[in-house]
Structure 1
């Protein structure tokens, strides 16, 4: 069992075989009853490999495998398709692997060494905005997909946007419909160049501000509140010289603190204030909000390198204890000097990652959060009540959850009144279920279980589009 836990506790140590096929399952097997309010589609994307992987390849380097559960009057059908990227098309034409290590263009076959969209695999976030469906990847401009068929259409058009990178964790303002985004290494190379960019509710670029980060570090997710923007930079640094020498794109530096840039939402980068938090690494954000002089961000934090597929600067892989993430509330009191401004408040019993909320309450004070619980041997889906500190758990046996997603019962229902959709890996049976849980209390038995007769590659992040 420990090796099974290790495989699901850390994406970097995951050893499952690639799927290597696209699938259609008409009329999925269902236990229980699909709630009548679920009318639409749940989209997900993750990393798979159409062609054999390199030795010690990581899941982040996989081809985008986009999937859809379509809900229609109590019935569910499933479809998966590869994102037909330029690199996948080139490899299919050659009938072999052409692209080398993660984000290392110097390791590619000479025949494709000049492909401008080399890293654009569309494998990180299935994202919907202004009626369009995108396959996001944080170092690239996303591909558009057909929401009905999952056919790949084209790389999205974003007006006069200069940044080559759009974050894989965009934030939609539930009041304005704006799409808030940013990108580090925004010029395409591992430098301190970064870009903030905002699109209106129709997808039109309305703002772009460039700035510099303190060092060229990893930044996978961020925070947007009604009054502030929060840019976390983690001490996994990128280096072109290391890539040329055949090294990894990122390298963990335990001697660097994580850096947290905070600027007024309506301000300019010259108003940015950077804070140091040594000894933590984060990857994802549950939510963020402002309250007076305080800026609050809720995030799973680890005491060391939770991106365990990258070694540290001494060539060491992180010890398992360093990679364990705990949901933590970080408070920045902007009225205080830097040395006194930051406080950390971990939530007891909330070990895990892949946090999500009722997105209607994004950017403001909220009560309920969901996450994939990974407190071995206890595995499951967790729910936090931020007012009481209570953590409820839907326990799993011999299985592990992927990212939970909340769907409201209606546009006007109370926070948390709806459904949590979560893919669950049934490891012993080598297949996957999609559970539908009560958003008010995930500890209750599933309202319905949708069964797939096969396992699916790890999908990172997804979205819901109503019918």
Structure 2
């Protein structure tokens, strides 16, 4: 064997930048770290005690050049806050898929939700799609790494050690559990869904409800009018709202190596509404042309109307998916505006009243979760130029601009104290500065966001994108 032949055995595939939202490209970070006593700028409030968890995708190994951010391995971030001090920790979610690739020392599962492009050495896994990369979900003392097409992994909230796959003690029949759940602030219940619950790709979906102790108490099925995307949904005190977005699943396209989803510009989003105490057979479907939603801010019922507030775009908000003809779509049409949809449950129209809020361009909405499922006043969201708060009583939007190339991730609201008024508390968010490779957890006074952060806990690198996170109050 020649020297060149021997050297070729050790040539490694190259990491590509990963297509993400808004046309951005991200480099993998691939770092697990511990930092005791972060450098603090400003003062962390004395009442702010607990752990902020963030979760996002970060590719462990190189993959195809056309891979997308949604296919990245789950990486958890935690900031433990106590007495003005902050300790940082990051760990990969050690899913079955992650472990198989680490043992093989290479990428095995090369495309998002499409086994047709798997490496020949890839093992057949029940949890093939579970990267555990979407939502760090803290629920009644337990932490889960959620991914909508799979069962989540439970995570030790102190060490970030990955525990077993969670399926409500074997009671869950659906193969999927939504990455977005809703906690009822009155009952403590966990409301969720499972899209493509049987992996038939026909639009089959499960409504899933667990009690406050994570015991499954309800699971019932329906079939959506077409096989589209449902990433988030809404629950009010009286109704459940399912939103099917115009991204079609086509098994034949996948078999040919194509994408799992493709955007259908001729198909409206569909919104199915059922009584909360009724059955999925009671769902009434509404059409919303030109309304494409990835996330829901909040929803509530008012008389015979259901109000849903959400970021809505006129076009493809997932630009790394082509349209059904295989063509790229206009990135600008994927920019969302905070929008109110009003569904008249007694009227004859099958379309909601759609009101886009002027000046409220942005995504990743959050609220004071104590007011979920009911009429509320404040919503928070990440704008194109920073952090925003909308007052739904006045429609006033307040903003703190972030200077490029800073990147602000999704925020999380923490009340100032038990019983505080709505919105009286703090907003926590991760900020990255790629140009200097530095990052921080930032804290805003939620009622004074325009004044800027009151404190920062700095870390010496720029983290991967975090999708969704939560806050565990108290010292764990």
TM-score (norm 1): 0.95
* SS, match of residue 38 in structure 1: coil
* SS, match of residue 366 in structure 1: coil
* SS, match of residue 19 in structure 1: coil
Q: Which moved more, 1:351-360 or 1:96-105?
A: 96-105
Separation (CA, whole Å) in 1 of partners of 2:312 and 2:22: 17
Tell me if structure 2 keeps the 8 A contact 1:71–1:77. yes
1:353 equivalent in alignment to 2:353: no
1:169 equivalent in alignment to 2:180: yes
Separation (CA, whole Å) in 2 of partners of 1:155 and 1:344: 40
Separation (CA, whole Å) in 1 of partners of 2:279 and 2:365: 29
* SS, match of residue 99 in structure 2: helix
1:411 equivalent in alignment to 2:445: no
Tell me if structure 1 keeps the 8 A contact 2:55–2:76. yes
Task: Report the equivalent of 2:93.
Answer: 83
Q: CA deviation at 1:14?
A: 2.8
Task: Report the equivalent of 2:8.
Answer: none
Query: How many residues end up aligned between the 2 structures?
Result: 456
What are the ranges of 5 or more consecutive residues in structure 1 without an aligned counterpart?
1-6
Describe how 1:310-389 pairs up with structure 2 within 5 A. 310-339=321-350, 341-374=351-384, 379-389=385-395
Q: CA deviation at 1:443?
A: 0.8
Q: CA deviation at 1:321?
A: 1.9
Tell me if structure 2 keeps the 8 A contact 1:183–1:196. yes
State the Cα deviation string for residues 277-312 of structure 1 (Å, max 9, x = none).
Answer: 112211000000000001001000111011111000
Separation (CA, whole Å) in 1 of partners of 2:117 and 2:279: 38
Q: CA deviation at 1:440?
A: 1.3
Task: Report the equivalent of 2:276.
Answer: 265
Separation (CA, whole Å) in 2 of partners of 1:292 and 1:416: 25
Separation (CA, whole Å) in 2 of partners of 1:23 and 1:153: 19
Q: CA deviation at 1:9?
A: 11
Tell me if structure 2 keeps the 8 A contact 1:184–1:195. yes
Task: Report the equivalent of 2:165.
Answer: 155
Separation (CA, whole Å) in 2 of partners of 1:13 and 1:90: 31
Separation (CA, whole Å) in 2 of partners of 1:9 and 1:189: 28
Task: Report the equivalent of 1:281.
Answer: 292
TM-score (norm 2): 0.94
1:69 equivalent in alignment to 2:79: yes
Q: CA deviation at 1:47?
A: 0.3
Tell me if structure 2 keeps the 8 A contact 1:105–1:113. no
Equivalent of 1:210, from 221, 234, 238?
A: 221
State the Cα deviation string for residues 198-230 of structure 1 (Å, max 9, x = none).
Answer: 000000000111001011100000110000000
Q: CA deviation at 1:189?
A: 3.5
Separation (CA, whole Å) in 2 of partners of 1:113 and 1:87: 9
* SS, match of residue 443 in structure 1: helix
1:185 and 1:67, CA in 2 relative to 1: closer, same or farther beyond 3 A? same
Q: Which moved more, 1:12-21 or 1:176-185?
A: 12-21
Task: Report the equivalent of 1:3.
Answer: none
Task: Report the equivalent of 1:445.
Answer: 452
State the Cα deviation string for residues 63-82 of structure 1 (Å, max 9, x = none).
Answer: 00011000011100110000
Task: Report the equivalent of 2:13.
Answer: none
Task: Report the equivalent of 2:14.
Answer: none
Task: Report the equivalent of 2:120.
Answer: 110
Task: Report the equivalent of 1:242.
Answer: 253
Tell me if structure 2 keeps the 8 A contact 1:223–1:230. yes
User: After TM superposition, which residue ranges in structure 1, 4 or more long, deviate above 6 angstroms?
Assistant: none
Tell me if structure 1 keeps the 8 A contact 2:18–2:67. no
Q: CA deviation at 1:188?
A: 2.4
Tell me if structure 2 keeps the 8 A contact 1:106–1:113. no
Q: CA deviation at 1:337?
A: 0.8
Task: Report the equivalent of 1:392.
Answer: 398
State the Cα deviation string for residues 102-129 of structure 1 (Å, max 9, x = none).
Answer: 0001111233342110100110000011
Tell me if structure 2 keeps the 8 A contact 1:144–1:154. yes
